[in-house]
A and B are shown apart, each in its own frame.
Chain A
Amino acid sequence: MAAEHDLKKKAKELLTKGEVKVVIGFGWNRAGTRTTPVFITRPEDTDRLVFNPLCVNNLSLYLTRKFKDIQALGRPAIVAKGCDIKCIAVLISEGQLKREGVYIIGMTCEGVVYRQELWAGMNPCTRIPEDIMPTKCHNCDVRNPHISDVTIGEKSIFTPPEKPAGMVFDRIKEIDRMGAGERWDFWMEHFSRCIKCYACRQVCPLCYCERCITEKNMPQWIETSAHPRGNLSWNLTRAMHLVGRCTFCGECERACPVNIPLNLINQKMTLIVKDAFNHSPGYSTEVHPPMIVFSPEDKEDFIK
């Protein structure tokens, strides 16, 4: 694939010149059936890099402060799709990264395979069927990366629908139609399956707190037990801490071992924030998320 070839070439060039010390990208697993994050530090290893619709991980996670071992390697280059770059933009706007501290290799993307087991046996070079693409891809307006140091891949001519469409949005509409009691039951039933593994938090590039609120014990704000009360307080708190920041990369739902539909919460909140503050996270490295700034123009119609 031409894009993959160009990627390997670029990565080799960056490492040889010493412009970056590590290239964070995707590689095949041993069996060649799944892609997995790789950290290339030597120019001769750049052949391991791949890029195809199985590259679903959001690698911007590895740029965050939690990964001190990776930061110690030196200036990174990152293989990023448009959705991943949105997270990088939010990280920069929140002061977690400096733009010049990372070399963004933007990859054009025609969609990913949300759950890799659905892909079994298909050739990675073929266009993926629309029904195994996640909702975010159907509505993507950054198939051509909006912020990058270099863009690799064939330019995409896809235009997303006017109004967001797809499974996640259909389900949000369904839940919007529910009454408060029904909605409560819906979420309590889902949260009851939570096992407090914190996979959602750990894969989220925006959950970068060195000491998460669940890890604070003076006082213990969030109960760690996986009973309904503890699960509700964790999931709600995380949702609220992501309001106005979440870029709908979908990693949390993909990582959840018990398939809690976290995308529904996060995307619903993004819709609310868009409506209330006319803000969509991830497009600018300069604009701060609305929940951390106050503007006199903010709507106050919710104060009754």
Chain B
Amino acid sequence: MNKKLLRRDRIGLLIEGVIKDGVFIAPSISERQVVYGPVKEASEITFDYIIPRNSFKDFLFPQTEPVARFKAEKDAVLLEEVKPRPKETVIFGVRPCDAASRASLRSVFTWDFKDEFYTKREERALVITIACTKGDDACFCATVGISPEGSAGSDILLRETEAGDFTVEKVTGKGGSFIDAHPHVFEDSVSGCALKEIFNPEPIGGVNLEKIKEWLKEKNHYENPLWAELSRKCVGCGACTFVCPTCHCFDIIDEGTYASGERRKNWDACQFEYFTLHASGHNPRDTQYKRWRNRFMCKFNFYPEKFKSIGCVGCGRCVRVCPVRLDITEVMAEISGQPGQGGS
């Protein structure tokens, strides 16, 4: 394929074409923050952002959705299966860290049992990523091995030029077909487009991912008093979990009555006190440090070991949104600095 260019003033045409039968998701400003959401016109899109507040998992795995409906009639219960029929969705303006979370979500939602609520949405999604030309002190993608111009999880990768347009790189076959299908939008590019400099995140001092993984593998480190110390200020909300691109825990609940109602799948967070509460009253994770420890271990031990996937993409959303600024990179640095195997 020849080198392609996407002019900023052509994006409107792209949106027009997509929203005929599908949905175009892009970052826009809402209530003083940049969020991913459906747009109808190019003027709604903002390009001046580091990363939207929400992750694009919102569109592959919604906060709440019905999975079944039931109704009691005479002696029987009628069960209606809910079949999601997602529209073709273009998610535009994704950052490389977000895109990298796709593999993690896919690995858990297809583990033996295929969750079609996720897979059908993912099949119909086209991810257009824009490489990062700026960041802030909460970004730490490079520390976890993700590049600010990485293409993992994207279908198309855009890089911004000094002129404000984008060079276009096809990453997957699906991305290629999309580019071919919109020749009036993705033009052949002339050589010599000066690219804006890609953001170079400072590596977080003292953080060593390998050391962390080794330390976490030691079973007796699970009881280390460091966990309580580092997570003491955690208030136990779900803000970090809900904005995180790789967090996917959910709850299944019934709404309504026996006579008629709905079964829904809703986001849930291991940070909530009653997440693991048994009906008997026993709660394996009854204090906040145990819950926080679970979150950290899940990201840096359970998921990498189980699924060989990344549990944390370094987007920094949890750091920005935490009401008490409990910074996961500070915990990573503390653990990296702990004595190794056999130590305390």
Contact = CB atoms under 8 A, between A and B. Distances in A.
B242 A257 contact: yes
Contact of B64 (A37, A68, A226): A226
A258 interface: yes
Range, interface on chain B:
35 or more
Nearest to B62: A226
B77 interface: no
Interface string B157-201: 000000000000000000000000000000000000000000000
Contacts of B242: 195, 197, 257
Interface stretch (A149-157, A168-176, A198-206, A262-270): A198-206
A37 B233 contact: yes
A255 interface: yes
Contacts of B251: 224
Given A197-B237, A259-B32, A69 B323 contact: no
A146 interface: no
Contacts of A81: none
A91 to B, nearest CB: 16
B31 A258 contact: yes
B238 A197 contact: yes
B31 A193 contact: yes
A66 interface: yes
Given A195-B242, A257-B53, A30 B327 contact: yes
Interface stretch (B87-95, B127-135, B266-274): B266-274
B325 A225 contact: no
Contact of A33 (B137, B233, B235): B137
A201 B329 CA distance: 25
B64 A34 contact: no
Contact of B325 (A29, A66, A193, A211): A29
A109 to B, nearest CB: 19
A227 B31 CA distance: 19
A199 B325 contact: no
A34 B235 CA distance: 17
A36 interface: yes
Given A29-B330, A36-B324, A195-B63, A224 B232 contact: no
Contacts of B14: none
Contacts of A193: 30-31
Residue among B32, B241, B272 facing the most chain A CB atoms (10 A cut-off): B272
A227 B64 contact: yes
A34 B325 contact: yes
A57 interface: yes
A36 B326 contact: yes
B253 A225 contact: yes
A195 B33 CA distance: 15
Nearest to B206: A30
Given A225-B253, A255-B323, A258-B31, A203 B267 contact: no
A259 B137 contact: no
Interface in A137-189: none
Contacts of B323: 57, 199, 202-203, 251, 254-255
Contacts of B289: 69
Interface in A1-56: 29-31, 33-39
A55 to B, nearest CB: 12
Contacts of A211: 274
B309 interface: no
A203 B63 contact: no
B274 A203 contact: no
A36 B239 contact: no
B233 A36 contact: yes
A198 B272 contact: yes
A196 interface: yes
Contacts of A226: 63-64, 266-267
B207 to A, nearest CB: 11
Given A69-B288, A259-B33, A215 B274 contact: yes
Given A33-B137, A36-B233, A203-B237, A224 B253 contact: yes
A196 B264 CA distance: 15
Contact of A257 (B232, B235, B321, B330): B321
A70 B32 contact: no
A201 B288 contact: no
Given A30-B329, A257-B243, A258-B31, 17 more contacts: A33-B137, A37-B233, A38-B233, A39-B232, A57-B324, A67-B288, A69-B288, A69-B289, A203-B235, A203-B323, A215-B274, A224-B253, A225-B64, A226-B63, A255-B237, A257-B242, A258-B53
Interface of B: 30-33, 35, 53, 63-64, 137, 228, 232-233, 235-239, 241-243, 251, 253, 255, 264, 266-267, 269, 272-274, 287-289, 321, 323-327, 329-330, 333
> Top 4 nearest A-B pairs by Cβ distance?
A255-B323, A202-B237, A199-B237, A197-B238
